[in-house]
Amino acid sequence: MSELDLSKFEKRMIIRNTKQEDIDEIIKMQNSCFPGMEPWKRDQLESHLEIFPEGQFVAEYDGKVVGSCSSLIINFDEYDDRHSWDDVTDEGYISNHNPEGYNLYGIEVMTHPEFRRMKVGYRLYEARKDLARQMNLKSIIIGGRIPNYHLHAEEMSPREYVRQVASHKIYDPVLSFQLRNDFTLMRINPNYLPDDLQSNKYATLMEWNNVDYQPKSKRFYKTSNPVRICVVQYMMRKIKSFEDLAHQVEYFTDVAADAGSDFAVFPEIFTTQLMSFMDEKSPSLAVRRVTEYTEQYIELFTDLAVRYNVNIIGGSHLVKEDDDEIYNISYLFRRDGTIDKQYKLHITPNERRWWGISRGDELKVFDTDCGKIAIQICYDIEFPELARIATDMGAKIIFTPFCTEDRQGYLRVRYCAQARAVENQVYTVISGTVGNLPQTENMDIQYAQSGIFAPSDFEFARDGIVGETNPNIEMVMIGDVDLEILRRQRQDGTVRQLKDRRHDIYRIQYKK
């Protein structure tokens, strides 16, 4: 007896994350689902996949995309209760997605008209709920349409309409569905979607609470979220051994810890001080000898970060890797003993000429116990695209270890760091070397004035300068930055550079 081939009868329903190749189908489907409303732009959907791919889903039935949904993560407390769709989605580009947020915000769900009553929407909602559980998010919030309201607008208010739907006296295809899926009404927002004429521009703000949520912190109850930073302006002087450098580094780490600092920041390539006891006249050979101390350098800072309970930006160090290339690398030594590193991405003509330094290829943002940070070494801070991308990746503080030999070079770093603070509504920190190494080729003179900078607005320090050292003397500067003030200023500041960007006419693309 021949077996019946069951596979030819199978038509699989799959819920999966959205891919680039789905975009055209989603836009086409949206025109069918919401006639008269402006559909997604391709660059908006591409932005969703670039920023938060985990939060974008499609329903695929028998190989055809028949439904989709988009979402982002926010801290809902940062938004006015009467927010619009544009407010909460950054005009559809979700550049305001906050990986540290508490709420998953659903910005659209749709099912192809030919495939309704197949529980496509239900499956997409379940995918969102699973994501919220996996990411330990407090809730899912949606701004729901009420598309049948226009049929009743002359006889009842939006509030009465919603009450009638909740009492099952009126059927609304969206609101009735959301109530069946355990969403509860928070409020009704006017002017939510200006082109949603069926809902008379109203939307119901709905929430599903994750009963498995485990609170991550008490930040909801804080009125401030301070971070203390100790900036080390390090003097380059002749030493006799690695132990001499280690003693100086430990002294400054001790000072930072005594002040209760969360971060201690050292300057760029300050470990070239090791050249001062090497009898090596050739700069290219001297720099290779410095790389021989990489393991001692890492062991030293790892020990100090844990022993003194302070996160350390270890300046930067020249490292020879397996490809026999030398890189300028800044290490983050966390106080829990873990380590990360950022390669210098832009190499100056001087570094190439004297030392043959190679460039890195990846911009990173690091998690710390004080939030997300980025490190951009000296010349890198002079390229505004990097700071903008780091900010979009969640960085609130950008640390810039630097080493410059004259005032002009120093001012390029300083002015750019201050500009980055204003442009991106972040804090920036610069830490430089001073002093002289008379016998060391290409490291003989230094010029620096280190500092911490803030956006320029009423909430921050006058002139946007949290603190700065005196020029060209060895010293530390300790200052506090408040991430809660930064959060509020991004939402309600005099100017809001992040929210007011014109994504309709320009974008920055990071090629990973």
- Please list the active-site residues: 268, 344, 378
The DSSP line for 106-170 is EEEEEE-GGGTTSSHHHHHHHHHHHHHHHTT-SEEEEEE--TTGGGTTTTS-HHHHHHHHHTTSS
Alpha-carbon distance values, 254 to 49, 269, 309, 434 (Å): 44, 21, 10, 20
- Give the whole-angstrom CA distance, residue 449 versus residue 414: 8
Query: Which token pair is 186?
Result: 């928070």
Angle at 334 between CA 321 and CA 227, to 5 degrees: 130
- Give the whole-angstrom CA distance, residue 85 versus residue 70: 13
Burial class (CB in 10 A: 0-12, 13-18, 19+), 320: middle
Phi and psi, residue 17, nearest 5°: -70, 145
User: 61 near 11, Cβ under 8 Å?
Assistant: yes
- Give the whole-angstrom CA distance, residue 432 versus residue 474: 10
User: 318 near 326, Cβ under 8 Å?
Assistant: yes
